[in-house]
Amino acid sequence: MRIGEPTGFAAYNPPVRELDLLNHIYSRNAGLPSRVTIPPGDDMGAITIGGASVLVTVDQVADGVHFDLATTPLAKVARKAVTRNLSDVAAMGAVPVAAVVAGCLPRGFGEAKANALFDAMRAVAMSYDCPLIGGDISMWDHPLLLTVTVLAETAGVEPVLRRGAKVGDNICVTGTLGGSMETLDDPPDYVHHLDFEPRLNVARKLAGDAMLRPHCMLDLSDGLGKDLPRLCAAASKPEPRPAGRGPSVGVELWIDRLPISRGAHRAAQRDGRPPWQHALGDGEDYELCFTIPREIADRFPTVIEGVPVTQIGRIVAADDDAAITLRMPDGSVQPMGEYGWEHHD
């Protein structure tokens, strides 16, 4: 018998749940040095270096998880690897400065494909004034994996954090939601999760304008149904809440106000689910979600930097049982239930 092996029953190794792992990480935030000004728990972290605030974000894209290399052009893989991170930069209202990439290439990937991939990543990064300045390359016996880290600066504008939503705030989103995996004809072969435009200009306008600045903001990567609870949790308490306690703020979401994408309607035709369910749960939208004071809601712009902005709900006081409710088109109210992307091991 090996040391530590249980006797009489099989060892149980519980699965990893993303939220549980993140809460474990966040619980150590209090031990970080004072130069860490934005700890784990937001779209980017921040640290003071030489008197300046430097923001950092890192994301991965993996073949078979975030794209299918057999059917996805390398140029689109390269684009998503970079723009996923730029969406995080947008969520803070920051300005990207530079990027580094670590790539694990499958054996047999080939020199020509490797050159094409990294040339495309360099071109995408440069198009956002975020030059690719270094990284690391490995070969392995697994699918393609790209890990991109982006550095950003505040450039004179205080970052907009996830926490800060207040009861009575209206909730806004940019663009449209749902159907991110669907291939559309206009523009040709457009697939949102690969071709989306990070909302850097919109976010910068919001963060830097005292009349428009949101109370909080995050980007929608795992779906509105998964990211809204994170916004509520951040508003209730920056640190993890004790087990069994729900957020002290919640959301009343107006289903008939959701800006539903063409892709969501196409997905609904295929699987028979209502388009609004796709808008809540498909994920990979990479739009901004933010809250604004109710007193400015009536005069808040419906278009910012050429991008539609829609008010979709309100922050409300909540209890443990119904943190997020859906106000349906017929006026009825129901709990949201489970929507959005969840990582599983």
Domain residue limits at 141: 43-153
User: Which residues contact residue 189 at a Cβ distance below 8 angstroms, ignoring those fewer than 6 apart?
Assistant: 183
pTM of the model: 0.89
Per-residue confidence band for 22, with pLDDT thresholds at 50, 70 and 90:
low
**Pair (111, 194) in one structural domain:** no
Cis peptide before 187 (omega within 30 of 0): yes
Tally of domains within the chain: 2
Residue 115 has pLDDT above 50, yes or no: yes
**Pair (149, 225) in one structural domain:** no
Q: Is 222 exposed, middle or buried (0-12, 13-18, 19+ CB in 10 A)?
A: buried
Mean pLDDT of 179-190: 95
Tell me, yes or no, whether 23 lies in a domain: no
Residue 250 has pLDDT above 90, yes or no: yes
**Pair (240, 319) in one structural domain:** yes
**Pair (184, 217) in one structural domain:** yes
Per-residue confidence band for 12, with pLDDT thresholds at 50, 70 and 90:
low
Question: What is the tens place of the pLDDT at every residue in 30-65?
Answer: 778 889 999 989 999 999 999 999 999 999 999 999
**Domain finish residue from 122, 153, 184:** 153
Tell me, yes or no, whether 86 lies in a domain: yes
The full DSSP string for 111-154 is: HHHHHHHHHHHHHHHHHTT--EEEEEEEEESS--EEEEEEEEE-
**Pair (239, 269) in one structural domain:** yes
Domain CATH code at residue 113 = 3.30.1330.10
Tell me, yes or no, whether 341 lies in a domain: no
**Pair (144, 175) in one structural domain:** no
**Pair (186, 302) in one structural domain:** yes
**Pair (294, 185) in one structural domain:** yes
Tell me, yes or no, whether 160 lies in a domain: no
**Spacing of C-alpha 26 from chain mean position:** 17
**Pair (186, 226) in one structural domain:** yes
Tell me, yes or no, whether 187 lies in a domain: yes
**Domain finish residue from 127, 153, 179:** 153
Tell me, yes or no, whether 194 lies in a domain: yes
At 64, list the tokens: 């078979």
Tell me, yes or no, whether 54 lies in a domain: yes
> Quick check: 92 and 50 in contact, CB under 8 A?
no
**Pair (180, 288) in one structural domain:** yes
Domain CATH code at residue 255 = 3.90.650.10
Report pLDDT for 19. 63
Tell me, yes or no, whether 5 lies in a domain: no
**Pair (207, 277) in one structural domain:** yes
**Pair (133, 194) in one structural domain:** no
Question: What is the tens place of the pLDDT at every residue in 138-184?
Answer: 999 999 999 999 999 999 999 999 999 999 999 999 999 999 999 99
